[in-house]
């Protein structure tokens, strides 16, 4: 995905580097984390094709010592099911699902699904870890999405600090409200 290239991926790189992280990440984000010094990364996706592409990207970047030194694992699973069953812990959990609302009628269900995913992701974070939650649903506004993730964090009762939110990169601009589908929020948890 090129649309999340900046600022979100670069922001993950900065976060992961600061944490020397063991992230649970998706797609291109894990490569950025590896380049920032992550010792290991687990990528979870429903699609075997997507995971094969992720493994290939790591191989292609193997000339980078940091990438070569990162233990990269791929898991083919449903993220809701895997996160609910897993007892693994991570320094960074990045949630980057596909659009969960392809039409307006799906907006309410999508907001609940984002909150559920955030709750599951927060439960897998080590103390001091970072939740990175992204949305590409045009029918869910940034305000609705951020509120869903913040509410999940509040209900987790772990204590958290919002680090930042990001939107479209400069080379993928949105010039009218309906075009603003990308949003991402970063929470550091206690």
Closest to ligand SAM by CB, 107 vs 158, is 107
Q: Which DSSP state fits 9? A: I
- Tell me how far, at minimum, the Cβ of 157 lies from ligand SAM, in Å: 26
Choose which of 96, 122, 149, 181 interacts with ligand SAM (CB under 6 A).
Answer: 96
Name the residue whose CB lies closest to ligand SAM.
27
Q: Does 1 bind ligand SAM (CB under 6 A)?
A: yes
Strand partners for 24? 42, 93
Q: Tell whether omega for the bond before 55 is within 30 degrees of 0, i.e. cis.
A: no
Q: How far is CA 94 from the centre of its chain?
A: 2
Show the site string, 45-84: x = touches ligand SAM by CB under 6 A, - = not.
Answer: xxx--x---------------------------xx-----
Q: Does 27 bind ligand SAM (CB under 6 A)?
A: yes
Spatial separation of the C-alpha atoms in residues 88 and 124, rounded to whole Å:
6
CB of 136 to ligand SAM, least distance (A): 6
Cα angle at 134 between 174 and 99, to 5 degrees? 75
């Amino acid at each position: 995905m090129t649309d999340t290239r900046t600022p979100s991926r670069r922001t993950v790189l900065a976060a992961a580097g600061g944490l020397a992280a063991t992230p649970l990440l998706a797609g291109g984000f894990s490569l950025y984390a590896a380049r920032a010094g992550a010792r290991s990364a687990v990528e979870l996706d429903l699609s075997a094709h997507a995971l094969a592409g992720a493994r290939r990207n790591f191989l292609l970047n193997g000339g980078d010592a940091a990438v070569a030194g990162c233990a990269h694992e791929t898991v083919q699973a449903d993220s809701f099911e895997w996160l609910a069953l897993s007892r693994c812990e991570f320094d960074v959990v990045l949630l980057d699902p596909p659009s969960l609302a392809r039409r307006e009628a799906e907006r309410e269900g999508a907001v609940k699904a984002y909150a559920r995913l955030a709750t599951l992701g927060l439960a897998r974070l080590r103390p001091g870890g970072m939740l990175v939650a992204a949305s590409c649903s045009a029918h869910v506004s940034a305000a609705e999405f951020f509120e869903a993730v913040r509410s999940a964090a509040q209900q987790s009762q772990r204590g958290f600090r919002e680090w930042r939110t990001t939107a479209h990169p400069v080379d993928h601009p949105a010039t009218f409200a309906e075009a603003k589908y990308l949003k991402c929020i970063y929470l550091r948890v206690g």
